[in-house]
Chains A and B, each alone.
Chain A
Amino acid sequence: DTAVSQTPKYLVTQMGNDKSIKCEQNLGHDTMYWYKQDSKKFLKIMFSYNNKELIINETVPNRFSPKSPDKAHLNLHINSLELGDSAVYFCASSQKNDRGFSGANVLTFGAGSRLTVL
């Protein structure tokens, strides 16, 4: 049973198109994230949702819109794709830990969605 699953695994598309990546977690975690890993391998946070509420929105272009229908799902929609959007997008989740930070900062990642914009 996959803990954090995201689809599609690979996505090749033309500039200007709109695409979506879906993510689901079956860990019962309260918080979900989207991270982007670019060609230089840096992983950067894009968004974070806690129980369907947006709590982190890094300086990401408005073309990127996350949607969380429930706390087990966090989807990412990208409008008007650009060449620079080519990257691996990782979904992740973590458990809210009221006792401190450690649990909330331990992320379980999905396998990644490799987006190539031509």
Chain B
Amino acid sequence: RKEVEQDPGPFNVPEGATVAFNCTYSNSASQSFFWYRQDCRKEPKLLMSVYSSGNEDGRFTAQLNRASQYISLLIRDSKLSDSATYLCVVTPDRGSTLGRLYFGRGTQLTVWP
């Protein structure tokens, strides 16, 4: 079983739509959670960290449900520039080495005009 599972999509939505991505992780002791964004043929870039209480950054809202081992990302008022692959990222338990990140395979989003 993969450490991080994501629906690969693709998600095709019109500009202005609200879209949500989900991801599940297998290790209940996982400590830190992130969403990264990867544009086509580019490197991944940190979008936002995910905190237990949930957090928001502009049009983006991330939620963590530790009991269900589930992470979500909500994008409101989608823009054309949001088209990318969104990677769910999890770090293993506290005993493991810092910087060992487990990436999901990503969810592809295309926003059309």
Contacts and interface: CB of A to CB of B under 8 A. Distances in A.
Interface of A: 31, 33, 40-45, 48, 55-56, 90, 94, 96, 101-102, 104-107, 109-112
Contact of B32 (A43, A90, A96, A101): A101
Interface size class of B (residues with CB under 8 A): 20 to 34
A51 to B, nearest CB: 13
Q: What is the interface of chain A mostly: helix, strand, loop, or mixed?
A: loop
Nearest to A43: B103
B34 interface: yes
Given A48-B100, A104-B98, A105-B34, 16 more contacts: A31-B98, A33-B99, A43-B87, A44-B103, A56-B97, A90-B43, A90-B44, A94-B98, A101-B98, A102-B49, A105-B32, A105-B101, A106-B49, A107-B99, A109-B43, A111-B42
A111 B43 contact: yes
Given A41-B85, A105-B32, A105-B91, A112 B43 contact: yes
B91 A41 contact: no
Contact of B97 (A43, A48, A90, A107): A48
The winner among A33, A41, A90 for most chain B CB atoms within 10 A is: A41
A112 to B, nearest CB: 6
Given A41-B85, A42-B105, A90-B43, A102 B97 contact: no
Contacts of B32: 101-102, 105
Given A41-B105, A43-B87, A105 B44 contact: no
